[in-house]
Amino acid sequence: MKHLKPFLWCYAFIVLLELIVVGNPDFWPFRIISKPLIVLSIIVFFLFQEVDKKTRIIVFGALLFSLIGDLLLIYDEIYENLFYGGLFAFFMAHILHTLQFSRNRNKELGILAPLFVLSGYAIAIYLYLYDSLGDFVIPVGIYITVHLVMILFAYLRDDSMINNSYIYVLAGSFIFMFADSILAITRFKSDIQYSRIMVMGFYSIAQLLVIIGIIKGSKVHLKKGIKAY
């Protein structure tokens, strides 16, 4: 993987900067710089990697929607309509990641057990938030469902275990859901101490793991000459 170590050092600095900014209300105006740098740095790193054309297009699209979502959600507490936009942007990012994950399906894996577990978690979160969602009842329900499907397809990916691509993607997808859960609880239900720091910390880890896992998986299939991935 090209330039991984320099990128990780740079990424760690960017994430640390964002955590400092988000943890101090006096610094929040600077989030318009610190927050988008997280995904921007991943985009630059990803574009330098050797992946197949379809992966490049799909994943770049997912990262671009994530970047748009990050920008919109900076001011969502001031302008409520921005939350709708941010929710839709991440909805599209999850759709594209699901499409990418589905390209490398392991048909031997059963779907019922993971679907039951993920559905149970999604329903529990949704019911917990339901009374506080107001106009967001339907959008949040749709978003949770799409996120569940993304995690399901991350689980259903081919597990070659050659370079831990499967583990990276699945772990990143679960951590993404955890970050979203904290965000949703604090946004609609009740405040959680240090929630902003936790959300951005988990979100940064999730984005990194998913992208590294996708790159690792794509490299394996390129070496094998498999164009379907």
pLDDT digits (tens, 9 = 90+) for 147-189: 999 999 999 998 765 678 999 999 999 999 999 999 999 999 8
Residue 100 pLDDT exceeds 50: yes
Tell me how crowded residue 43 is: count the other CB atoms within 10 A of its CB: 16
The answer to whether 76 and 86 have CB atoms below 8 angstroms apart is: yes
Give φ, ψ of 157 to 5 degrees. -65, 155
224 burial via Cβ count (<10 Å: 0-12, 13-18, 19+): exposed
* pLDDT recorded at residue 21: 95
The answer to whether 204 and 38 have CB atoms below 8 angstroms apart is: yes
Residue 122 pLDDT exceeds 50: yes
What is the mean pLDDT of the segment spanning 103-121? 87
For residue 11 the two structure tokens come to 């990424």
What is the mean pLDDT of the segment spanning 209-217? 94
The answer to whether 169 and 154 have CB atoms below 8 angstroms apart is: yes
What is the mean pLDDT of the segment spanning 185-203? 92
Give φ, ψ of 88 to 5 degrees. -65, -40
